[in-house]
Chain A
Amino acid sequence: MSSLRRPSLPVRAAVHLGVYLVAATMLAPFLWMLLTSLKTDQEAAQAPTLGNLLPAVWQWRNYPRAVEAADLHLYYANSTVVAVVTTVLAVAHNALAGFAFAKMRFAGRRVLFWMTLATMMLPMQCFFIFAYLISRWLGFIDNWQALIVPFLASGFGVFYMRQAVSAVPDALLEAGRIDGMDDWDLFWTIVRPMAWPAITALAIFSFMNSWNNFFWPLIVIDSIGEKTLPLAVADLASGQYMQSWPETMAAATILILPLIVIFFFCQRAFVRGVALTGIKE
Chain B
Amino acid sequence: MAGRQTRSAYFFVVFPLGILLVFTLVPTVVGLGLSFFQWNGDGPPSFVGFRNFQALFRDAKFWPALRNTMVYGLVSVPPAVLLAFLLAVAVHARWFRGKALVRTLFFMPTIISVVAIGFVWRWLLDDQAGLLNYGLRLVGVDDPPNWLQDGYWPFFWIIVISVWQKVGFCLVLYLAALAGINETLYEAAEVDGASRVAVLRHITWPQAAPMTAFLMVTGVISALMVFDLVYVVTGSTAGSISESDYTNVLNLFIFRQFGYSRFGYASAIGVVIFLLTVVATAAQLGLFAERGGKGAAR
Interface residues of A (CB under 8 A from B): 1-7, 12, 15-16, 18-20, 22-27, 29-30, 32-33, 36, 44-48, 93-94, 96-97, 99-101, 103-107, 109, 112, 115-116, 118-119, 122-136, 149-150, 152-155, 158, 170-171, 173-174, 182-184, 208, 211-212, 214-215, 218-219, 230, 233-235, 237-240, 242, 245, 248-249, 252-253, 255-256, 259-260, 263, 267, 270-271, 274-275, 277-278, 280-281
* Chain B 102-146 interface mask (CB, 8 Å, partner A; 1/0): 111111111111111111111110101101001001000000000
* In the bound complex, CA of A69 to CA of B123 (Å): 19
Residue of A whose beta carbon sits closest to that of B135: A48
A270 and B111 form a contact (CB under 8 A):
yes
A103 and B93 form a contact (CB under 8 A):
no
Contacting residues, chain B, for A46 (C-beta < 8 A): 129
* In the bound complex, CA of A245 to CA of B31 (Å): 41
* In the bound complex, CA of A135 to CA of B22 (Å): 9
Contacting residues, chain A, for B221 (C-beta < 8 A): 123, 281
B123 and A245 form a contact (CB under 8 A):
yes
Contacting residues, chain B, for A20 (C-beta < 8 A): 98, 102
A4 and B34 form a contact (CB under 8 A):
no
Residue of A whose beta carbon sits closest to that of B222: A281
* In the bound complex, CA of A129 to CA of B12 (Å): 29
How many residue pairs, one in A and one in B, have C-beta atoms under 8 Å apart? 324
* In the bound complex, CA of A173 to CA of B15 (Å): 24
**Given A130-B31, A252-B116, A256-B112, also A100-B96 (CB < 8 A):** no
* Dominant SS among interface residues on chain A: helix
B186 and A256 form a contact (CB under 8 A):
no
| Interchain nearest-CB distance for B33 vs A (Å) | 9
Contacting residues, chain A, for B113 (C-beta < 8 A): 211-212, 214, 230, 233, 255-256, 259
* In the bound complex, CA of A1 to CA of B199 (Å): 8
Q: List 6 A-B contacts (CB under 8 A).
A: A4-B186, A4-B199, A19-B96, A47-B129, A124-B28, A215-B227
| Interchain nearest-CB distance for B55 vs A (Å) | 17
* Chain B 74-106 interface mask (CB, 8 Å, partner A; 1/0): 000000000100010111111111100111111
* In the bound complex, CA of A242 to CA of B121 (Å): 13
User: Among B15, B96, B115, B123, which residue has its beta carbon within 8 angstroms of that of A15?
Assistant: B96
Contacting residues, chain A, for B123 (C-beta < 8 A): 32-33, 36, 242, 245, 248-249
User: Among B204, B237, B274, which residue has its beta carbon within 8 angstroms of that of A123?
Assistant: B274
Contacting residues, chain A, for B255 (C-beta < 8 A): 218-219
Give me the 4 closest cross-chain CB pairs, A-B, nearest first.
A127-B31, A153-B16, A170-B2, A126-B270
**Given A4-B196, A130-B27, A255-B115, also A26-B222 (CB < 8 A):** no
A19 and B91 form a contact (CB under 8 A):
yes
B9 and A100 form a contact (CB under 8 A):
yes
Residue of B whose beta carbon sits closest to that of A211: B113
* In the bound complex, CA of A122 to CA of B26 (Å): 11
A30 and B111 form a contact (CB under 8 A):
no
- Stretch among B58-66, B164-172, B286-294 lining the A interface: B164-172
**Given A15-B96, A97-B17, A182-B8, also A44-B129 (CB < 8 A):** yes
Residue of B whose beta carbon sits closest to that of A150: B23
B258 and A103 form a contact (CB under 8 A):
no
Contacting residues, chain B, for A281 (C-beta < 8 A): 218, 221-222
B270 and A129 form a contact (CB under 8 A):
yes
**B254 contacts the other chain (CB 8 A):** yes
Most chain B beta carbons < 10 A, residue from A104, A211, A245: A104
Contacting residues, chain B, for A128 (C-beta < 8 A): 27, 258
A29-B121, A238-B237, A278-B214 known, 10 other contacts, Cβ within 8 Å:
A7-B196, A18-B90, A100-B9, A126-B254, A127-B30, A130-B267, A183-B8, A242-B122, A275-B176, A278-B176
B15 and A48 form a contact (CB under 8 A):
no
User: Which chain B residues in 138-184 approach chain A with CB under 8 Å?
Assistant: 148-149, 164, 167-169, 172-173, 176, 183
* In the bound complex, CA of A258 to CA of B142 (Å): 41
